[in-house]
Amino acid sequence: MNTLLKIAMAQISPVWLDKSATLKKIESSINDAAEEGCELIVFGEALLPGYPFWLALTGGAEWNTNLNKELHAHYVNNSISIEKGELDSVCQLAKKYNMAIYLGIVERPLDRGGHSIYASLVYINETGEIKSTHRKLQPTYDERLTWSPGDGNGLQVHPLRTFTVGGLNCWENWMPLPRTALYGQGENLHIAVWPGSEHNTKDITKFIARESRSYVVSVSSLMTRSDFPKDTPYLDEILKNAPETLANGGSCIAGPDGEWLVEPVLNKEGLIIQTIDFNRVLEERQNFDPVGHYSRPDVTKLIVNRDRQTTVEIK
């Protein structure tokens, strides 16, 4: 039995709020990962079409301003409606290369009316099928001004070679119960996606690995002032308060013992590739398994609602 899995972390910048151009960068990264023989590629949170950096830079909480309305509309127009086939090209590449993909998108779902948007983590399997779309349960702080809260439908795990893989978006990785929901379904390869920066990844990556005795793959994006397209609405106002680097990466991998396999990589665009061995999971579960021999479901138990929430149910 082959217990190895070759992973590519795509630490790239978006063509900010331009979904067509960002899709081309994503497809190029998939092609490059295929040339390296990778079996899984992971992209950062909300990479397609980009993280809402303007909220912290332009007074995003100000009520009823033209700037906030127009930037939000621009964001929605560049968000992804899966039902319209806007990820079809990515799915086709997954099938072509027999490669699984985790992709962070800003989703504009038709089952919620098609006007609100969600930070979603999409899993595409090796045959090119979208098997889960996890909408971020709780947008963080100023993200709530543009992203809507998700539901439990995407708290799913998936078979991948000898592994069982699942994933969460950014700070929901700090939420103990969503993590437990994935552990309890057999997760042993945890994907954590971030908008960028090692201050997010450097502590939680090793912590989850040690808690779960799983591999943890944290993938971040990059963003600098030069990554803002010149035709971005209100660009001058955004750049006036923007630092040179808004997201410096920090993609990394911790093993099931909580130690680094790949330490956080900073300010480097491209693929970061690592091969992992499933047997290391079994070795570390010998002394601790949080949902197996080292659990007490007769005392504490988690209930998960995986219903997809919608306002209208058509009978």
Catalytic residue IDs? 45, 136, 170
- CA gap 276, 253 in Å, rounded: 10
CA distances from 142 to 57, 139, 147, 222, 260 (A): 11, 8, 9, 19, 31
DSSP assignment of 237-268: HHHHT--SEEEEEEEEEE-TTS-EEEEEEES-
Answer yes or no: are the C-beta atoms of 25 and 32 closer than 8 Å: no
Q: Give φ, ψ of 24 to 5 degrees.
A: -65, -40
Answer yes or no: are the C-beta atoms of 77 and 49 closer than 8 Å: no
Answer yes or no: are the C-beta atoms of 246 and 224 closer than 8 Å: yes
Residue 93 structure tokens: 């590449």
3 state SS of 105: strand
3 state SS of 81: coil
Residue 79 DSSP label: S
- CA gap 285, 228 in Å, rounded: 45
